[in-house]
Structure 1
Amino acid sequence: MHQPQTQPQARSIAPNELPDVITRYLSAHRAHDTAAAVASFAGDATVVDDGTTYEGVAAIEGWLSRVATEFTYTVELTAAERTDATHYDAVHHLEGDFPGGAVDLRYRFTLHGDLIERLVIEP
């Protein structure tokens, strides 16, 4: 009898249990250190943010440079989850001068080796 495939369930982890590459990326992004943030991505990585897809390091670098200067905001890591060895979520609370003033965003990371292969940012 065929058993239906089940998706692995995400489980909560302590933020300090996130892989080093994710922690390095988040720290660099918060510090507006675009070079260090870009170094966390694989050469063929993809980022999806606010409905737009950025493919490859050059596009990701342009996106990071733009988001670093577009608004002023604070970021607080409020939760972290691990689905499997390559899939992690980090939930952030942002407050600032962007439309709405406050939002909780889920950063969904897919890793390949010790680099970020895909990042999807969504509410």
Structure 2
Amino acid sequence: MNQITLPEAVENFVAATNAHDVNALAAVFGDGATVRDDGTTYTGGAEIREWIQGHLINPKIVLTPTAFADDRLVAAGDGEFPGGPLSFAFVFGIEDDQVTDLAIDPV
């Protein structure tokens, strides 16, 4: 399989998710960042930390990137949730090596 090259912020997001490290994940996001997932928007550090805990850490999500182009990461997500593994598209807004905006949708 070909190696997928990811921007530093995306690489950090995947690594921190797979390590189940809430502090490292929170550090990936810039001040005032937003996350859109499951029909809800999370804005700012406290809300994003809550989203990280509930959507990535608690279900022990492990991401396996399968493609990356135009700020869009497609990855298989597995963990302790029904129906897994599932493929997701993560569309990143990045500024100064930090995520400013993230939208997640099933693929």
TM-score by length of structure 1 reads 0.75
Query: How many residues are aligned here?
Result: 103
What is aligned with 1:102? Answer: 85
Matching residue of 1:5: none
1:58 paired with 2:43, answer: no
Structure 2 unaligned blocks of 5 or more? none
Identity, % of aligned positions? 34
Q: Deviations over 1:72-121 (max 9, x none)?
A: 45431111112xxxxx1111112344232331100100112221100001
SS of residue matched to 2:83: coil
TM (normalized to structure 2)? Answer: 0.86
- 4+ aligned runs moved over 6 Å, structure 1: none
The CA distance in 1 between the partners of 2:61 and 2:94, in whole Å, is 27
* Pair 1:31-2:31 in alignment: no
Corresponding residue of 1:85: none
Measured on the aligned residues, the alpha-carbon RMSD in Å equals 1.6
Separation in 2, partners of 1:107, 1:24: 14
Q: Which residue of 2 aligns with 1:90?
A: 73
Amino acid at match of 1:15: I
